[in-house]
Chain A
Amino acid sequence: MKVINFMKTDMICLDMKSKDKEGSIRELGEYIRKTGEVKDHDKFMREVFEREKLVTTGIGNELAIPHARTNLTDKFLIVFGRSTAGVDFESFDKRPAKLIFLMAIPSKNIDEYLVILAHLTRILKNEELLKGLYSAETNEEAIDIFKKAEE
């Protein structure tokens, strides 16, 4: 499964404004709200925060993957956000998260959930991809960088 198949130019925010974890999740959550694909957005947000309570999704190296397995949508949705200043995501390495991926993952398929998370965490170890995402000037450019990394 390639993440690029689900990324859209209107689901990218290269200049996030939020300064904290909750705000950044809510800021990216607005992109998901606008898709109209999630039945109850407030409930979905609560599910994301509940997941965050288990263990932070700040995986270190300035990356965070807040997400929720949910019955509120049948579609896998992903929003990519970039914060120049960084957001404290309580990451294990204490570094602020600058590249944040918010995902809604349909709960009907547990295998898909695992595959997506494993794939994303693996490709985000690609230094070229990270450099590209830090320097992308447009949403289209960010998409192209992702596409190249997953080829």
Chain B
Amino acid sequence: MELLIFILNKEELLNDVLAAFVEAGITKGTIIHSEGMGGILAYDIPVFAGLRQLVGDSKKHNKTILTLIKDDSVIPELKKILLGAGVDLSQPGTGVLISVPAKDVMNQKS
């Protein structure tokens, strides 16, 4: 079992990303409304306000998708579908996809 973490900075691509997940066979997951550390540092902690020049005029939010997959064999296909849907993770500011082993999973199926 693997935990797939997708941090999507371009929130406008969320529908495309979710559709790609479904197409790749990933039909369950949790979507968290999240925000980058830089935005919080720059706008919520005054001493770091100098960072605003770097992070822009306002806090930037993103979406974090968490999902469990049986193994990582689905990832190449997911990447291919994402790219076809215009979600190119090699482009700056798009997002990041991470998969890590999920050692212990306890849910209704376990």
Of all chain B residues, which has the CB nearest A113?
A: B50
Which residue of B46, B49, B54 is within 8 Å of A110 (Cβ)?
A: B54
**B24 adjacent to chain A (CB < 8 Å):** no
B46 A55 Cβ-Cβ under 8 A: yes
B43: nearest chain-A partner, CB-CB: A55
Which residues of A have CB within 8 Å of B52? 54
Contact for B47 among A68, A110, A121, CB less than 8 A? A121
The dominant DSSP class at the A interface is: mixed
Q: Smallest distance from the beta carbon of B34 to chain A beta carbons, Å?
A: 20
Residue A92 interfacial (CB < 8 Å) = yes
Q: Which residue of A lies closest to B48 (CB)?
A: A117
Contact check, A114 vs B47: say whether CB atoms are below 8 A apart: no
| Chain B residue nearest in CB terms to A64 | B47
Contact assessment for B50 and A68 in the assembled complex, using a CB-CB cutoff below 8 Å:
yes
* B-contacting residues, A106-148, CB 8 Å: 110, 113-114, 117, 121
CB pair B47 A59 closer than 8 Å: yes
How many Å from the CB of B6 to the closest CB on chain A? Answer: 25
B49 near A54: Cβ-Cβ < 8 Å: yes
A-B contact pairs, 11 of them (CB 8 A): A55-B46, A55-B49, A56-B46, A57-B47, A59-B46, A59-B47, A67-B50, A69-B50, A113-B50, A114-B41, A121-B47
A51-B49, A69-B50, A114-B48 given; 12 more Cβ-contact pairs under 8 Å:
A51-B50, A54-B52, A55-B46, A56-B46, A57-B47, A67-B50, A68-B50, A92-B46, A114-B51, A117-B47, A117-B48, A121-B47
Sort A-B residue pairs by CB-CB distance and give the 3 closest, nearest first.
A55-B49, A54-B49, A55-B46
